[in-house]
Chain A
Amino acid sequence: MKQLLILSGKGGTGKTTIAGAFIRLACAKAYADCDVDAPNLHLIMARDIGPRLTDYYGMPRAEIDPGKCVGCGECVRNCRFDAILDGDRCKIDPYSCEGCGVCEAVCPAGAVSLKPVVAGELKLYHKEDRVFSTAQLKMGGGTSGKLVTEVKKQMKSAAYEGAELAIIDGSPGIGCPVIASLSGADMVLIVAEPSISGISDMKRIVKTAEVFHVRIAVCINKYDVSPVHSRKIQEYCKTENLPFAGVIPFDPEAVRAVNNGLAISEVDCPSGVAAKEVFGRVMGLLFQGFGESSH
């Protein structure tokens, strides 16, 4: 089963909208949303079914037993994350606690213990022979990289035999969840935004993906917002020898489609038509190889 990962570096480029279109065009049997902080794909892909839920445990968090706490403040003095509030009885701030265990180790009264904490929820949707894996990290929950790994694992183990293609909607940014999504990907499609900040973020994400030796292709969404910057992106791809998969115009129809729970490829609109062409090129690259130069 080949894995296509869609990334964008910055948020708001239209990654999820494009992922949705690709999933419909490919009739993909397995897909996943790795943006566990702010998952959106289910809003267009899974409106009418309920998922199977699994608790996800992140880093354990410290808990103070008020019955045992003597208020000596040793824990407060040694906490590097300002996660303990001083008082007659010390109290842990669960949102700042990183689960390091120092407070547990220094407490003279044995009042502190690390307890496993539900940091999020894994969700698995089944419809006929299609599986869709996603998750939601709770507010302030750390370890999103590990949850991303769990989302992909869930997708892979639930996928039916004979599923040829898995499409993964990645996380924005360049941090750990992105790096975790890159693991095992056969190809990355970077959705770029034609703007100064969009180009800067695109370059950072290209650098990150290159380190993992994953093949990269680039497309531009809302290209007509700035033809100048779109050209710059195309030139960059040429210089860096990255295949250019095409452009998609800005399209108010896209918003309407999405608000109605439809992928842009399911509606007769300019962005849907363009997305289909980009999809064609991406599939060519993924299944037939990259050749020697960008087209």
Chain B
Amino acid sequence: MKNRSPKIAVLSGKGGTGKTFVSVNLASIAGRSVYVDCDVEEPNGHLFLKPEAFCEETVTVGIPFVCEDLCSGCRKCVDFCKFNALAFIKGRPYVFEEVCHSCGGCRLLCPEKAIGEAEKSVGKIQRGVAGNVSVHTGILNTGEVSGIPIIKKLLEASISENERPVFIDCPPGSACIVMESIKDADYCILVAEPTVFGVHNLNMVYELVRLFRKPYGAVLNKCLGEGNPAECFCKENDIPVLYRIPFDSRLGTLNANGKIAVLESKRYRDLFSSLLRIVMKEVPGETAVDS
């Protein structure tokens, strides 16, 4: 059974390597596709794709509140909270919302059933369309502790629509939020820079995708030709190199102006068509994709 809607995650250990560049351009060149921006702290994809007709949904988490009339002042909730989100003042618990992790423990443990839950917004999801690309952007409100609830919502089953490949632009790093983004991915593209910094960061996401047993391949970006430490790293660790994108100062300008390379230049149309074909061949349950 062919996988006609593969989920392809694009990761890098650090920001600025070209994750968004690769995922946005792959999504743009692939006839019909889905682009999901899981970098909820600093989402950038939409600045290039400029989606229209979008709808917005708020993402909420449950935050406890105390019904003073029912509270007996036993302090069980305050003593239980591992995050110190509850303080006991003048005989009553007080909730510190932004420190709360929404675990629901205080509510469960209250012997008087005096704690209820209200929904608090932690961010939003914008869904829109940019040409042939269905764009889904997650945005975390500044100051909120965790983007995970947003990513969970972003990647809900409905993401796989009608035989379109899904390109997931992951947050940088290898923390829990990245893990959440690749949980259901069919394939992972690791983007790396040709510097010693780049190798160190590549190593991090390399370990991550192996831990999660995901098939993977590397795209070496900003290649300057001479001694590329990232290339050596891939060789030593048998990481398939899917493509080497040469450094090109014009890309810097295009990037600065929010332009998508495949829409501006034949050279990049050809490059990304090529990369797309290579990626699709690597994805398990190979499928043919129009480009």
A residues contacting B by CB (< 8 A) are 9-13, 16, 37-38, 40, 43-44, 59-60, 78, 80-81, 95-96, 98-102, 105-106, 114, 137, 139-142, 144, 172-176, 193-198, 200-201, 204, 207-208, 222, 225-226, 228-229, 250, 252, 255, 258-259, 261
Contact = CB atoms under 8 A, between A and B. Distances in A.
Contacts of A176: 145
A236 B108 CA distance: 50
A106 B194 CA distance: 50
B14 interface: yes
Interface in B237-279: 247, 249, 252-253, 255-258
A258 B148 CA distance: 35
Contact of A258 (B108, B109, B172, B197): B197
B195 A255 contact: yes
Contacts of A78: 104, 108
B105 A95 contact: no
Interface of B: 13-17, 20, 41-42, 44, 47, 80, 82-83, 101-105, 108-109, 142, 145, 148, 172-176, 179, 193-197, 200-201, 204, 207-208, 211, 224, 227, 229, 247, 249, 252-253, 255-258
Contacts of A142: 175-176
A176 B195 CA distance: 27
B42 A38 contact: no
10 smallest beta-carbon distances between A and B, as pairs:
A12-B16, A11-B15, A100-B103, A226-B256, A195-B256, A225-B252, A197-B44, A196-B258, A37-B173, A102-B105
Given A38-B200, A101-B80, A144-B175, 12 more contacts: A38-B14, A100-B82, A100-B101, A101-B105, A102-B105, A174-B42, A196-B47, A197-B47, A200-B44, A225-B255, A255-B224, A259-B227
A195 B200 contact: no
Contacts of A222: 252
Nearest to B109: A105
Specify the main secondary structure of chain B where it touches its partner.
loop
Contacts of B224: 252, 255
A207 B208 CA distance: 33
B256 A229 contact: yes
B131 to A, nearest CB: 19
24 contacts: A9-B42, A10-B44, A12-B17, A13-B16, A38-B14, A40-B14, A40-B200, A43-B200, A100-B82, A102-B104, A105-B105, A114-B82, A139-B204, A139-B211, A140-B174, A172-B15, A200-B42, A207-B142, A229-B256, A250-B252, A255-B224, A258-B197, A259-B195, A259-B196
B195 A95 contact: no
A95 B176 contact: yes
B253 A225 contact: yes
A193 B44 CA distance: 14
Contact of A225 (B109, B172, B204, B256): B256
Given A204-B42, A226-B256, A261-B196, A105 B108 contact: yes
